[in-house]
Structure 1
Amino acid sequence: MQVKQTQDLKSVIYQASLAIRKAVFVVEQHVPAELEVDEFEDQAIYFVGYVDDQAVVTLRLIEAGSDYHVQRVAVSRPARRHGYGHQLMRAAEAFARQSGKKALTLNAQLSAVAFYNQLGFQATDKPPFLDAGINHQEMVKKLTA
């Protein structure tokens, strides 16, 4: 899988990210479109994984002080269960480490907590909460010893 990244909202990489997000979150999970595209779009670094020149997985990072907050992790339906989500998360983690960040944080859908546990994320003490009508758990992965 080839990983590309951008901060340019006019780029084809961002457009590919947005297409995957809309297919997964808006169409499949019925998240309102006005919640999916938010005020942080122009502050994020977008990562997109390509297989045979097809965008199949995406995520974005938002700087949060000494950490990055991982958001909008989505894998297109036909590309699921091939490890692309893990690969993209590892690429984002490597980027965060190279950037000197101390941790990655995220709000995982409860159905995805095991996925993030496999990547070394741990649930925080914060209780599960609703976001866009979906139960989430705050998780963190420390990047320093």
Structure 2
Amino acid sequence: MDRFLLNPFIAMFEQNGNSRLKVSYAMTRGHHCVTWSYVLVPAARPGSFWVDRREEPEEVQVYDTDYSVFALMLFRRQSGGQSVLRVNLLCRMWMIQTQVLDKFVCLVRALGLSDNNIVFPDLTDWSPHLGTCRR
């Protein structure tokens, strides 16, 4: 339903003080650059975080990663009385390895979601160097 809102984006994770991670995103929407950021604060369980300074608490779990090619992340929060679940597959390369994609699909299905809940942005004619967003 909201597929038209999905655009390719660049995410940057930077460790700052106290083991916190600053996460910055940039994407193009038409001719405009949209950026946003937040800080991830480590939780008690390894790979678990919560988003600092958010009206509605959001939990973040690094479900799987090899630190060099991909990260599979879960985001959970409550919004308007509804539970919101987002699964992100972040990759350092544009060509997603089959085994990494399989992990993503298996996780989505294990969470009770269907293939109709999986959406990838259209990368046709898109390059991180051609957009208006510059880091």
TM-score by length of 1: 0.35
Structure with higher Rg: it is: 2
Quick one: higher RCO (CA 8 Å, sep 6+), 1 or 2? 1
TM-score by length of 2: 0.36
Q: Name whichever structure is richer in strand by fraction.
A: 2
Q: Name whichever structure is richer in helix by fraction.
A: 1
